[in-house]
Amino acid sequence: MLEFIEAIFLGIVQGLTEFLPVSSSGHLLLGQYFLGLDQARFGLSFDVALHLGTLVAVVVFFRRDLVRMALAFLRSFRRRDFSDPDQRLAYLVLASAIPAALIGYLLEDLFERAIRSPWMVVFNLVLVGVLFIVGEAVGRKSRQASKLTFLEAVGVGLAQAAALVPGVSRSGATITLGLFLGLRREEAARFSFLMSVPIIAGAGTLQLGEVVSEGMGAYDTLLFGAGFVSSAMVGYLAIRFFIRFVVHHSLRVFAYYRFGLAAVVTALLLLF
């Protein structure tokens, strides 16, 4: 029963922090570290189940956008027209998925074993928080995501790949680079969430397939299901809140949160 509650707790953490720019992987790692959760049971493979839950959240929330993009992509086989915003956005999202897919495939073992450290989380919480503040200060906040160039989309994809390092935050890294490229906050957030769909779907499906091939008992399946459902439900609510929030508010509040969390974690690591 305790592990079932822990699975729901981790799902809630994932749902809240996947789309808020505070690093879901960092929060999950810290939660596992300080609460003494079983790393074998709640390790990277369990993170994948939680990410699949948040994938459902983003697909449901942006279902209309995704359907329009999918139809526009299919139309492009008959006639390619990048002046069509939906068609162009579909190709930009695909272009942004390439760097994260390649880096994740080539460096999976490194991210899974070598750098899952609380101190790495502390460092990246501070670093990305500083970038939030700088991006808010220098970004023009006037462009639409569909106006990005394909090279810029690949650059945002590289930022997404950097989020494989705990503490960076996928949404934080991509939205911040979007601000540097002049996107409006809500456009940067929308593009960040849309571009997460192919990469989470691809990586999550592959790794979940590995987990299933190794076999899961009924109890393990129940734990994964609890985390999946809780992350999906909370993730949907987090997207809804964040999209509305960034229309009128800056990312500075999340930078200050990251600084505060880094300070608390540093104190705990030094004291215990």
Q: Which stretch, 43-52, 62-71, 112-121, has highest mean pLDDT?
A: 62-71
Task: Report which of 119, 129, 164, 131 is spatially closest to residue 265, judged by C-alpha positions.
Answer: 119
Q: What is the pTM assigned to this prediction?
A: 0.86
Average pLDDT over residues 55-82: 94
| Residue range(s) defining the domain that contains residue 134 | 2-271
Name the residue with higher pLDDT: 200 or 133.
133
Convert the pLDDT of each residue in 166-188 to its tens digit: 788 889 999 999 999 999 999 99
Q: 7 falls in which pLDDT band (50, 70, 90)?
A: confident
pLDDT of residue 38: 58
How high is the mean pLDDT of the chain? 85
Is the pLDDT assigned to residue 83 strictly greater than 70?
yes
Average pLDDT over residues 52-74: 95
Quick count: other Cβ atoms within 10 Å of Cβ 221? 12
Is the pLDDT assigned to residue 255 strictly greater than 80?
yes
Q: Chain centroid to CA 104: how far?
A: 13
What is the tally of structural domains in the chain?
1
Average pLDDT over residues 6-30: 81
Name the residue with higher pLDDT: 56 or 31.
56
d(CA 175, CA 161): 13
d(CA 94, CA 71): 14
Average pLDDT over residues 110-119: 68
CB 24 within 8 A of CB 166: no
Name the residue with higher pLDDT: 225 or 214.
225
User: Out of 38-47, 219-228, 250-259, which region has the weakest mean confidence (pLDDT)?
Assistant: 38-47
In sequence order, which ranges of the chain are alpha helices (DSSP H)? 2-19, 24-35, 44-61, 63-76, 85-106, 108-109, 118-138, 150-162, 170-180, 185-214, 218-248, 252-271
pLDDT of residue 112: 59
